[in-house]
Structure 1
Amino acid sequence: MAEQNMEAKLKNQLKQEKIQLWNPPYTDDNNQPGQQHMQELAERYAPLLCLPVQEVGGALEAIRVQAVNRGKGNKMFRETNVATLELLLPRHCRKDPKTKNRLKTRLDVLVQEVVDRIGEEYGLKYIKLILNGKTLCVDGSEDTVPFLEIGDQSGNPLKIPHKLKKALILAMGFHEKGRSLMKKKQFDNALCHLLQADQLFSKVGSTLLNSVDNFAVLQLDIVWCYQALEALSCLDDGKSRLQRAEDCFLQCYGEQKQRLLMIKGNTGREEVLFLRLYLLQSLLSYIEGNDDQAQRQLSKVESLYSRLCPDSEKMAQLMALGFTEREARLGLRACQGDLQEAAIHICNQRQEREELKQRERQKRSKRMEDISTLTEMGYSRRDAARALHLADGDMNKAYEILQDSSQVAQATNNNTEGVVDPEKVEQLLYLGFERGVSEAALRLTGGDVQSATQLLLDNQGVLSPELLSVSPPSTSSSSSPSSEEPSTSSNSTADNELVNEVLEDISRHEEDYLDLTLEEESELIATMKSYLSRGPSHAV
């Protein structure tokens, strides 16, 4: 980082003095350095940076070479339409971290052709090509996307239009998977998932994104991956992402976090997000050569860190009371380190979560009662479940749908043998659902793709045993609720195992994104302090 800091300061000074290192007298006709003039420049700038002349001279030469190469690349592109791309490869593929890898290619070729060339040259099997924070190519063997319930900051389900709901749930699925990979330090793979989430969030619209903090947290996670991967070439993209995150936090939480205080009763847990925001802003300011701004942001970070770093003794006391490590950490932050208040807060949180689960259980129970009521009227459980789904749980509307005999008959005829259209299954697989539950949803909805999609979204991609246990369509439209038992078939078991495999890395705790141990942050804080305390390196 110190090298980037010094180069940034030198570039600013060169720009102010309108010095072009790629032209004479600093570069001769053979693109070699003008030794005398470069030496004079180094001797003049060294005192301004409070650094040795030799070190400044090396940095100036690096800047000169970059400018010369860029000039060559621009000239080649103008004359031949062949561009020079600078590649940021995974760490295990970098032979020399200081040597930049470049690829010459025309820009009117297929992205897959570029991917194939990179794969062959560097021995990479799976590649995602990212340009300026946008994924250009996605490998065909994409990870399956878990589907999550969308709730507000109090945990209550949100009513969202169908089109927005699909994009939002997909985005949240990619984000959660990316976060789980970040915890495993798999930052390359995590970044790919996070950028895909970012592209999906862009389809949702600013109004909704400004009402929840997911989008802001995603921007922080992307920039955190940049710094973990030492992807300094993504500096401009990172800076704009941090600004978007800060703007979104202000919209979502309020200027003084008053909205957050009203919703959650405290702001302590969310402070870790601002700690990470200020820390990343400090890092980018330092890399840009703005030491003063970097120091100001770092001071804010250290102040937050002193308040948010968990007290090990208090953590132990809360855990001795039977609370989890996560509960203890979040509870202490929410209550500004007050042990007694934290214990009360955690108990209240547990009660609120239990009440929410109880409401969800009651909702599911009501649905099953409604299905049983409709089956007692002579309709099959399959048709009853489908009608309630189409009616959004309204019994009267569901009954009206079931009275339309032609609609029910058509649904039954379309699915006489319980066989579903493979093309419709593929459409659901493309949306990220598992094959087993996709086929089950299509059977339940008479082969209607849109209804099957909504059914899966409403059930977070997991169909309950009660829904999976419906008998295959037959000529009889009556069914006795007392004879219906939850399915124990191998198919439903396999469905559940597949879904569980997808979800195993994703936290079920609604505040997992706030549960930062601050270990990584502590390391970066120490690094920043060491760089900023290296002496009076004033900005030139």
Structure 2
Amino acid sequence: MSQIDNTLIKVRARLRERNIKLWEEPYYLEGIGSIESELERLSQEMSTELGISVSSCQSALSEMQDGELRKLAASREYEETGLATFNVRCVETRGGTAQMMEIKCLMAGLGSELQDKVAQRLQLSGGSHIKIISAGRILSGQQSLASQGLQNNQQLMVVVGQWRGNEVAGEALNERLQQIRQDILLIVESDHRFVVLADQVGNPIDLPEAELRALVSALSISEKGRAAMFREEYDLALLLLLEGDEFFSSSRSYQPVLLEAVDNCALINLDIVWCYLCLKNITQLPDAQRRLEICEKKFRRTYGDNLDRFNEMNSPNRALIMRLHLLQGVVFFHMNRRDEASERLELAAAALAELKVNPELLQQMVDMGFTESDARVALRATAGRIDRAVDFISERKKLKEARDETLQGRQVHNYGGGVCPRAVCRLINMGFDQQLVVEALKRTKNNLERSIDLLQHKADELRANLPAAQPADEALLATLQQLGFTSATARTALETSENNLEAAIQFLLKMLSVKVLRSIIEAMTRLLEDHAASGSPCALPALAQTVLEQAKSKLESFTAFQRFKAEVNGNAMMYLDLPLKQEEQILMEYKNLLER
């Protein structure tokens, strides 16, 4: 933010107050042009009123007059030809610079046409390398501009990565987005249930399947966005967060669930505005204001009308309140609501001072074996008291373990009425009889906690009600062993599936680890290669091919989840462990601008 921008904000606001239109008389005459003497006279008046030099005022007035005249010309062109003008700001994320350009396109045209025109101006080979953001939404290339709500003379934001002289970076950004989307799709669609939604004590949240998948997608892609933001990859983060927001908005019926975990909805809006600021983009100012209003409303629901309802366990969230006030101050500044901006920045400054951690105390806790992140969050929560900070970390750890244990015990797997293979395997390994395990899981719909209770206290009742046992078919057992499955697991699968070979294979693949899946894939590959070399007719290769394809699909889902965890796990508290260096720098920058 420069002093020139500060001057423009002040002058623009004063022109609105006085209802002065620089494109009309006496400042502009059709056929003659700009009337410099009138602009100079107005500059002198406003210089005195605003405490700005005459030359700065005149430069600002000339720039604004040129801008308004371009808008008028674009409006006439749109009325006559239907050709819309868009003011596009292209962000070079690593360098912090931007390029402004005017792009013309028919409103009836597809979003891809606008993308291609922007790419051409940036000397990129195609529009697929860029993402255009309009009013807080990523423009779809497959829909018309009009259907997506674009308007003539609208300001748009374009994210390309390092676009200047480096097309590869734009391609890399797009490839990363595609990989993340594909990974999350694999995770969500997998029958393994990698991600289970639960409340704060670990009880799984029961939702219709379609809504559950939408919500898991929203939370997953948002977490990836937050991880990118933590690495200061704000271009990638913004695109992911906007997509996550779209998933949140795709269904309204799970809003009560979001209200129970209100920070999910508040955080994504706060994070999107933070990315706007870090990308030095004010073209999305109306969207930023809207999102901060949503965030504040959600926070007030949780932390009270004055945003001060904290206890020790949630006091680290004050860092989020501080960032909210800081961003509100920045937005109000750009709207020339300077008194409100000053008030919010002062609130941010006060919170920032409270959140600062003594480096010596931090080092002491690191020397005690705590991570720097955990130590910083704990010291902020306990006002720098080390003994209480240690207790804080311990208490949080106990709560997490209790929640995880509850979730693990009560986790419900929906397998179309069947039993969960991993649950069967786990309970058998605990020493329970296989038939009793299957019956208990059927009765409890795969609830481990309740199944264990039945097995421990009502085993006789379970045994008395067991259906007639159907032993594993020896021929099918031999077939499964030929495919590389162990005798014990193959027998369990056949008995559980009542000798349905296809169901038994599905059962086996669902209960296998990544390591065993890889060995199955290797075994199937060798078997098929050996058969191809021998040329002997046999039914086994067709079955081996089916197993190979299914095993690869499941391994692909596991691998996607591992990539997901690599960035997200270990960063559960990252949204509270704000280093605050950027916040402090931004705070000082805007406080200085308010004083000028």
Q: Which residue identity does 1:305 align to in structure 2?
A: L
Q: 1:88 to 1:7 in 2, by over 3 A?
A: same
In the alignment, which residue of structure 2 is the partner of 1:281?
328
Per the TM alignment, residue 231 of structure 1 is displaced from its structure 2 partner at its CA by 1.0
Q: Among residues 132, 136, 139, which one is paired with 1:133 in the alignment? A: 136
Question: For 1:48, what is the secondary structure of its paired residue?
Answer: helix
- Which residues in structure 2 correspond to 1:472-483 (within 5 Å)? none
- Which residues in structure 2 correspond to 1:132-281 (within 5 Å)? 132-137=135-140, 141-143=178-180, 144-145=183-184, 148-152=195-199, 154=200, 156-161=202-207, 162-205=209-252, 206-212=255-261, 213-255=263-305, 261=311, 265-281=312-328
Question: For 2:108, what is the secondary structure of its paired residue?
Answer: coil
Whole-Å separation in 1 of the counterparts to 2:283 and 2:400? 43
Whole-Å separation in 2 of the counterparts to 1:293 and 1:282? 7
Q: 1:17 to 1:529 in 2, by over 3 A?
A: closer
Whole-Å separation in 2 of the counterparts to 1:20 and 1:469? 71
TM-score (norm 2): 0.68
Question: For 2:342, what is the secondary structure of its paired residue?
Answer: helix
* 1:360-394 Cα shifts (integer Å, max 9, x gaps): 55568865455789983399xxx999968966667
Deviates more, 1:507-516 or 1:238-247: 507-516
Gaps of 5+ in 1: 406-411, 417-442, 456-461, 476-488, 535-540
Question: For 2:315, what is the secondary structure of its paired residue?
Answer: coil
Q: State whether residues 93 and 234 of structure 2, in contact with CA within 8 Å, keep that contact through their aligned partners in structure 1.
A: no
Per the TM alignment, residue 497 of structure 1 is displaced from its structure 2 partner at its CA by 4.0
Per the TM alignment, residue 256 of structure 1 is displaced from its structure 2 partner at its CA by 5.2
Deviates more, 1:369-378 or 1:281-290: 369-378
Deviates more, 1:35-44 or 1:462-471: 462-471
Q: State whether residues 164 and 204 of structure 1, in contact with CA within 8 Å, keep that contact through their aligned partners in structure 2.
A: yes
* 1:129-161 Cα shifts (integer Å, max 9, x gaps): 221111123769352326644343x46244131
Question: For 2:26, what is the secondary structure of its paired residue?
Answer: coil
Confirm or deny that 1:16 pairs with 2:17. yes
* 1:86-141 Cα shifts (integer Å, max 9, x gaps): 112121799984x6211100011122222222223313452222211111237693
Confirm or deny that 1:533 pairs with 2:595. yes
In the alignment, which residue of structure 1 is the partner of 2:85?
84
Q: 1:94 to 1:321 in 2, by over 3 A?
A: closer
In the alignment, which residue of structure 2 is the partner of 1:377?
435
Per the TM alignment, residue 514 of structure 1 is displaced from its structure 2 partner at its CA by 1.1
In the alignment, which residue of structure 2 is the partner of 1:437?
none
Identity of aligned residues (%): 23
* 1:8-44 Cα shifts (integer Å, max 9, x gaps): 3322322222211111221222473210111111100
In the alignment, which residue of structure 2 is the partner of 1:45?
46
In the alignment, which residue of structure 2 is the partner of 1:485?
none
Question: For 1:278, what is the secondary structure of its paired residue?
Answer: helix
Per the TM alignment, residue 352 of structure 1 is displaced from its structure 2 partner at its CA by 2.7
Q: Which residue identity does 1:255 align to in structure 2?
A: D
Question: For 2:284, what is the secondary structure of its paired residue?
Answer: helix
Q: Which residue identity does 2:435 align to in structure 1?
A: M
Q: 1:389 to 1:468 in 2, by over 3 A?
A: farther
Confirm or deny that 1:312 pairs with 2:356. no
Q: 1:315 to 1:103 in 2, by over 3 A?
A: same
Deviates more, 1:360-369 or 1:512-521: 360-369
Q: 1:94 to 1:110 in 2, by over 3 A?
A: farther
Confirm or deny that 1:321 pairs with 2:383. no
Gaps of 5+ in 2: 142-173, 188-193, 412-421, 455-461, 470-475, 481-501, 522-538, 540-550
Q: State whether residues 31 and 68 of structure 1, in contact with CA within 8 Å, keep that contact through their aligned partners in structure 2.
A: no
In the alignment, which residue of structure 2 is the partner of 1:356?
403
In the alignment, which residue of structure 1 is the partner of 2:163?
none
Relative contact order: is structure 1 or structure 2 higher (C-alpha 8 Å, sep ≥ 6)?
1
* 1:245-303 Cα shifts (integer Å, max 9, x gaps): 00011123333568764xxx544200000110000111111112222222111111111
Deviates more, 1:350-359 or 1:332-341: 350-359
Per the TM alignment, residue 168 of structure 1 is displaced from its structure 2 partner at its CA by 1.3
TM-score (norm 1): 0.75
Q: 1:197 to 1:304 in 2, by over 3 A?
A: same
Q: 1:231 to 1:447 in 2, by over 3 A?
A: farther
In the alignment, which residue of structure 2 is the partner of 1:36?
37
In the alignment, which residue of structure 2 is the partner of 1:500?
562
